[in-house]
């Protein structure tokens, strides 16, 4: 479905020193430097997979998505999506993919979403019967009925984002590239968008590639994680494997007095008594707690995905010197 080999994107950007004379000099003698936004990355994505493509700002995520959709040409490497070279921008390819960017819009500002939908039907040459069937599905799944005939400028951010998704999926793409699809949305609309993406994936066996800084989006949508940092792939695997590699262990959460739980390695983490231990030591810690506090409430959980990602990129502060449980 998606095959990436040694994919590289290098930007040539101008460099100059500050000041009037430096600016004047650069008119005749401009200096450049190469910025490697994507650095020889490799991965494959199969049909129907839901993949979280994560990394810090400037890691190369959006650049990669733009190359996968043909908006940017790679500097070097092999890139194939659905058997096509995306940079060729062939109509047969464009009719099978979509790119949804949470900070960009395609809806016509002064017209209602229905007019944009009709325009997209014509652009993608969607048969009328299929268009009507797909539109009815999307209206139901995204709860669009109440504002389909209102000018886009009068819609809330959540309403616009739902209409954007519908406009992007009218042609039933086989591959969805989603760049921060829930940015700025409230909790209710975010939950609706997540549910919709999962349902679209199930109905059409569509491939989903998601970038987001909202780890709740990633946890609820993605089955697999690709981490990219400084243009290179740092990890590729399941959420479980990611947690095992970078999670720092499992969390045992208990309630009880500090004088008992403190010596057992429990610390105050966001107001809860938590001991983070290696997986093989979980039963040992549980037994020690229940021996001291037979009626204590004790649970075991994985570390939050935000913490796992922070550790993966080396930005997580260790809990050295954390306070004992209250």
160-198 pLDDT, tens digit per residue, is 989 999 999 999 999 999 998 888 888 888 899 999 999
- Kindly list the distances between the CA atom of residue 7 and the CA atoms of 42, 93, 209, in Å, as whole numbers in the listed order: 7, 19, 17
How many other CB atoms are found less than 10 A from the CB of residue 168? 21
Q: What is the pTM of this model?
A: 0.81
321, pLDDT greater than 60 = no
| Confidence tier at 3 by pLDDT (50, 70, 90) | very high
* Predicted pLDDT at 170: 95
Rounded Cα gap, residues 198 and 201, in angstroms: 5
Q: Which of 318, 228, 275 is nearest to 42 (CA)?
A: 228
* Predicted pLDDT at 326: 62
320, pLDDT greater than 60 = no
* Predicted pLDDT at 144: 93
CB 127 within 8 A of CB 133: no
145, pLDDT greater than 90 = yes
pLDDT tens column, 45-82: 999 999 999 988 888 999 999 999 999 999 999 999 99
- Lowest-pLDDT choice from 61-65, 77-81, 89-93, 317-321: 317-321
Mean pLDDT estimate for the chain: 88
- Neighbouring-strand partners of residue 100: 178
| Confidence tier at 315 by pLDDT (50, 70, 90) | low
């Amino acid at each position: 479905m998606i095959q990436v080999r040694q994919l590289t994107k290098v930007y040539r950007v101008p460099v100059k020193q500050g000041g009037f004379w430096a600016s004047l000099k650069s008119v005749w003698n401009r200096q450049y430097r190469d910025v490697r936004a994507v650095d020889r990355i490799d991965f494959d994505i199969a049909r129907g997979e839901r993949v979280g493509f994560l990394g810090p700002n400037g890691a190369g995520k959006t650049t990669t998505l733009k190359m996968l959709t043909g908006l940017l040409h790679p500097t070097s490497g092999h890139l194939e999506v659905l058997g096509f070279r995306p940079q060729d921008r062939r109509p047969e390819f464009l009719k099978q993919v979509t790119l949804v960017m949470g900070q960009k819009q395609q809806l016509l500002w002064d017209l209602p979403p229905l007019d944009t939908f009709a325009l997209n039907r014509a652009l993608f040459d969607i048969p009328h019967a299929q268009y009507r069937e797909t539109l009815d599905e999307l209206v139901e799944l995204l709860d669009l009925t109440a504002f389909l005939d209102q000018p886009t400028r009068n819609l809330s951010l959540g309403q616009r984002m739902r209409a954007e998704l519908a406009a992007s999926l009218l042609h039933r793409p086989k591959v969805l590239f989603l760049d921060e699809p829930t940015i700025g949305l409230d909790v209710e609309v975010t939950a609706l968008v997540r549910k919709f993406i999962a349902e679209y994936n199930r109905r059409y066996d569509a491939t989903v590639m998601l970038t987001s800084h909202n780890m709740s989006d990633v946890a609820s949508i993605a089955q697999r994680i690709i981490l990219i940092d400084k243009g290179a792939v740092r990890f590729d695997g399941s959420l479980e494997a990611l947690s095992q590699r970078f999670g720092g262990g499992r969390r045992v959460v208990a309630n009880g007095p500090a004088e008992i739980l403190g010596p057992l390695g429990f610390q105050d983490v966001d107001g809860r008594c938590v001991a983070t231990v290696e997986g093989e030591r979980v039963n040992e810690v549980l037994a020690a707690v229940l021996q001291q506090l037979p009626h204590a409430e004790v649970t075991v959980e994985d570390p939050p995905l935000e913490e796992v990602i922070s550790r993966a990129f080396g930005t997580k502060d260790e809990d050295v010197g954390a306070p004992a449980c209250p």
